[in-house]
C-alpha cells in the first residue's frame, strides 16, 4: 500500500498580513483532508481565509502541541500509513522549526513516510538576512532558559560565541520580550551588537541592529509581538 506524504505547510508570521499561498501550494492543500495543527480554530480560519471554498467540514484535524504524548503522535501517523496525505501547520512560519511538529517529522522518517517541505516564510532566516550579521556562520538556540542563573549564564555564553564571528539567534515567548531585552542590556558588553526583528511581514514590522549601549535608551514596542533576537559582531 502507498504511504501518504506529510506536507510541511508554511503559515503567515503575522495573522493580519495579506498572505497568500502560491498556486502550487494551493493545489496541494486543496487535495488534503487531514491536517496536524497546534490549534484547530486558527488552522480552520487560515484555510477558509486563503482558500475560500475549501471543504473544512470534510477534514480531520489532529492537535499537536507541547503537551502531546508519544501515543498521540503515533495516532497521527496512522492515516499516513494508510495512504492519506497530510498537512502539518504551525501557528506561524515554517512547521517543525522551534515547533512541536518536529516530533511528527521524526516519527515519519522512522516509518519511511516521505516528508515534503513547502517553501514559505520563516522568521529566523528573515531576521538573519535583515540583521547585517554573519549569514554564513550562525547558530539558532531556540528558547533560552526561563529562570536565572541559567538564563544569565546562557546569554553570556552566546555573547562570548560572537567573538568567533558566529551569529547567535534565539527567541522568546512574546510576553517576555521586554524582560529579555532588559537582561541583555544589563548583562552584555555595551559594544556587543544586538538585532531585534519583531512583527516580521506585518504592518508593525520592526528590525533594528544597534550596540547594546544604545538599546539601553530605546524602548521598542515589542511586547507580545513575535520577535527574533540576534547577537553578532559589530
Whole-number pLDDT of residue 21? 84
Q: Are residues 14 and 68 in the same domain?
A: yes
Distance CA 187, CA 209 (A): 17
Contact 42, 132 (CB under 8 A): no
Write out the chain's pLDDT in tens, 234 residues: 899 999 999 998 887 766 678 899 999 999 999 999 999 999 999 999 889 999 999 999 999 999 999 999 999 999 999 999 999 999 989 999 989 999 999 999 999 999 999 998 899 999 999 999 999 999 999 999 999 999 999 999 999 999 999 999 999 999 999 999 999 999 999 999 999 999 999 888 999 999 999 999 999 999 999 999 999 986
Strands (E), 98-226: 115-117, 138-143, 167-171, 193-198, 206-211
* 217 part of a folded domain: yes
Show which of 84, 100, 117 is a domain's final residue: 117
Show which of 117, 135, 151 is a domain's final residue: 117
Beta bridge partners of 168: 139, 231
Strands (E), the chain: 6-9, 34-37, 60-63, 86-89, 115-117, 138-143, 167-171, 193-198, 206-211, 227-232
The CATH code of the domain that includes 110 is 3.40.1010.10
Q: Are residues 127 and 113 in the same domain?
A: no
Whole-number pLDDT of residue 188? 97
List CB contacts of 24: < 8 A, sequence separation 6 or more.
none
Q: pTM value? A: 0.90
Whole-number pLDDT of residue 18? 66
Show which of 95, 117, 139 is a domain's final residue: 117
* 1 part of a folded domain: no
Query: Which residue do the cell numbers 529562570 mark?
Result: 147
Domain count, the chain: 2
The CATH code of the domain that includes 129 is 3.30.950.10
Q: Is the dihedral of CA 168, 174, 178, 180 positive or negative?
A: negative
Number of C-beta neighbours around residue 146 at 10 A:
11
Q: Are residues 101 and 135 in the same domain?
A: no
Whole-number pLDDT of residue 121? 86
Bond from prior residue into 149 cis (ω within 30 degrees of 0): yes
Q: Identify the domain containing residue 99 by its residue range.
A: 6-117
* 176 part of a folded domain: yes
Amino acid at each position: 500500500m502507498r504511504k501518504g506524504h506529510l506536507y510541511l505547510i508554511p503559515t503567515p508570521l503575522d495573522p493580519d498580513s495579506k498572505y497568500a499561498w502560491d498556486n502550487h501550494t494551493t493545489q496541494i492543500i486543496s487535495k488534503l483532508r487531514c491536517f496536524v495543527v497546534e490549534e484547530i480554530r486558527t488552522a480552520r480560519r487560515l484555510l477558509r481565509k486563503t482558500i475560500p471554498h475549501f471543504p473544512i467540514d470534510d477534514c480531520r484535524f489532529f492537535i499537536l502541541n507541547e503537551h502531546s504524548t508519544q501515543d498521540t503522535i503515533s495516532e497521527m501517523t496512522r492515516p499516513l500509513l494508510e495512504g492519506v496525505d497530510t498537512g502539518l501547520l504551525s501557528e506561524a512560519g515554517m512547521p517543525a522549526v522551534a515547533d512541536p511538529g518536529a516530533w511528527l517529522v521524526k516519527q515519519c522518517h522512522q516509518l519511511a513516510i516521505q516528508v515534503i517541505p513547502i517553501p514559505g516564510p520563516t522568521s529566523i532566516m528573515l531576521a538573519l538576512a535583515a540583521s547585517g550579521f554573519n549569514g554564513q556562520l550562525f547558530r539558532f538556540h531556540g528558547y533560552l532558559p526561563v529562570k536565572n542563573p541559567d538564563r544569565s549564564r546562557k546569554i553570556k555564553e552566546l555573547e562570548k560565541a560572537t567573538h568567533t564571528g558566529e551569529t547567535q539567534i534565539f527567541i522568546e515567548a512574546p510576553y517576555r520580550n521586554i524582560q529579555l531585552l532588559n537582561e541583555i542590556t544589563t548583562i552584555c558588553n555595551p559594544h556587543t551588537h544586538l538585532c531585534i526583528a519583531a512583527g516580521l511581514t506585518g504592518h508593525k514590522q520592526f528590525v533594528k541592529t544597534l550596540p547594546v549601549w544604545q538599546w539601553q535608551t530605546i524602548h521598542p514596542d515589542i511586547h507580545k509581538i513575535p520577535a527574533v533576537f540576534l547577537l553578532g559582531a559589530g
